[in-house]
Amino acid sequence: MGTDERLNGYQRTVPFVEIMDSTLRDGEQTNGVSFLPHEKLIIARMLLSDLNVDRIEAGSARVSDGEKEAVRMICRYARQIDRLDRVEVLGFVDGGQSVNWIADCGCTTMNLLAKGSQKHCEQQLQKTPAEHIADIRLCIDYAHKKGISVNLYLEDWSEGMKDSPAYVYQLMDSLVDSGIRRFMLPDTLGVMNPLQVIEYFRKMVKRYPDTHFDFHAHNDYDLAVSNSLAAVLSGARGLHVTVNGLGERCGNAPLSSVQVILRDQFHAKTNIREDKLNDISRLVESYSGIAVAPNQPIIGDNVFTQVAGVHADGDNKGGLYHNALIPERFGRRREYAMGKTSGRANIAKNLKELGLELTPEQTRRVTQRITELGDKKEVVTLEDLPFIVSDVLKHDAPEDRVKLVSYVVSTAYGLKPGANIKVEINGEQYEAAATGDGQYDAFVKALRFIYKKYLDRTFPLLANYQVTIPPGGRTDALVQTVITWNDNGRQLRTRGLDADQTEAAIKATFKMLNIIEKENNNSL
């Protein structure tokens, strides 16, 4: 269960909690989410190899040919890295059909779905508890004969404990000696609160003290994380999570939140590598098409961004606004946003980041200008700051090493969009033309051609592209383009603001190129 440690002079048990990720099964039940087989493989590889989760639920038996292909690929990969025992597939009480499907995929663990409430057993299956138990035992025996170990889901267990606890105990009494490795207790409808979880879980643990219980939470009342932690406090040895909290209806307990609260609040042990949490979040966000909210704890864009000037001032005076959730722990960095509430401390932090030194009066004037922009709802970024400083202090802006001299983009019915561009890089001018799937795509392809042919350099890959109307804006006013780039394994994010979407994207692109060019020249 765990190890002993001394805290504040007394000894306590530190639990080890198994983490089972169900993104590829329950997470794929999110409305509108369907992963391609190769996407499921890539997610599985990151979960198993990079993040080091204890188990993954790779899919559901008998769903589709694509699902079977994906599970086969995942099992083949897991076998190669000696982690096949960490791959699980949902199966059903169906006379052995699921067992055969799972065995054919090369998987060795089935998560068998049984009915955990009398209501589901009698109304959905239209069977007596004794009949359902007999069917379950036949399925378990057949799986064991095929060399497949079995974990058992008690579907609707939460309602079962509320309405028919005698049925739950009858099921457990009949199956606890059947060779099941884990009994997995779901709050299928997401209706429980932490006090109920504690009550029901402790009853299960007290009655079956040598049994491994997992807890599977749903987030309909926004209590999935709280309920998961209550389950650990009450004896759960494993928790089920999904990346970004994906899942049916309101989703499941988010992996990132469960992990950090287990570690920081309960001092529990897991095998999760926290510095990979942001990477897996971004990957699943991209493949699922479900955006992570900016204020989502741990993985949201804004969670390590200080906006209020008093916070930046406190950080300058001993990290007064820091907590255990330091961004470097998750492979991220702290940022200080600039807007109408920033104050001079935020501006000073960003000036220091750029290596700019201003007098107190100059800083005051720059702060005043940024406050004015904030009142207009405009976004002020780190890349914008040198130009604001230049405008306020009436001297030339820092020299761009990469400049757009001229360009023409075109689109016509029946023809691919095209772009003709002329750019200046470190004083030399280059021209190129290209076609693409859109005007901006054509523009970037022309840039890639220049960097490859004339400079023999790799052009960063576009990782994410977002277009929004700035808060308070209108469709006929400014648009903001935020582009995330992958430059040899590191991420750069730049923004462009303009009345034209393509122009905004081009501005963001040239900000990125100048950042890289400046770094290259500074390293010489």
Position 2 pLDDT exceeds 60: no
Per-residue model confidence as pLDDT tens digits over 214-226: 999 999 999 999 9
Q: Which two tokens stand for residue 232?
A: 């650990």
Question: Residue 518: pLDDT band by 50, 70, 90 thresholds?
Answer: confident
Average pLDDT of the residues in 295-300: 83
Count how many residues are written for the chain.
524
Position 108 pLDDT exceeds 50: yes
Average pLDDT of the residues in 133-151: 98
Lowest mean pLDDT among 23-27, 46-50, 273-277, 315-319: 315-319
pLDDT at residue 47, as a whole number = 98
| Helix, coil or strand: residue 398 | coil
Is residue 25 within 8 A of residue 56, CB to CB? The reply is no
Per-residue model confidence as pLDDT tens digits over 414-451: 889 999 999 999 999 999 999 999 999 999 999 999 99
Average pLDDT of the residues in 346-360: 67
Position 104 pLDDT exceeds 50: yes
Q: Which amino acid is at 134?
A: A
Residue 269's DSSP bridge partners are: 16
pLDDT at residue 480, as a whole number = 72
Q: Which amino acid is at 162?
A: K
Determine the number of helices (DSSP H) and then strands (DSSP E) in the chain: 17, 18
Lowest mean pLDDT among 12-26, 69-83, 118-132, 296-310: 296-310
pLDDT at residue 304, as a whole number = 59
pLDDT at residue 207, as a whole number = 98
Count other C-beta atoms under 10 Å from residue 468's C-beta.
12
Per the model's pLDDT, the better-predicted residue between 181 and 397 turns out to be 181
Q: For residue 126, what is the DSSP state?
A: -
Position 309 pLDDT exceeds 70: no
CA distances from 22 to 54, 89, 218, 251, 415 (A): 11, 10, 12, 11, 44
Position 373 pLDDT exceeds 90: no
Percent of the chain with pLDDT over 90: 63
pLDDT at residue 312, as a whole number = 39
Per the model's pLDDT, the better-predicted residue between 358 and 353 turns out to be 358
Question: Residue 332: pLDDT band by 50, 70, 90 thresholds?
Answer: low
Average pLDDT of the residues in 30-51: 94
pLDDT at residue 359, as a whole number = 77
Output the average pLDDT for the chain: 85
| Helix, coil or strand: residue 483 | strand
Cα separation, 502 vs 409, whole angstroms: 9
Per-residue model confidence as pLDDT tens digits over 465-517: 988 765 444 444 456 788 999 988 888 888 776 657 888 899 889 989 988 88
pLDDT at residue 495, as a whole number = 77
- For 87, list phi and psi in degrees, rounded to 5: -100, 130
List active site positions.
Answer: 25, 155
| Helix, coil or strand: residue 362 | helix
Position 212 pLDDT exceeds 60: yes
Average pLDDT of the residues in 291-313: 66
- For 271, list phi and psi in degrees, rounded to 5: -100, 5
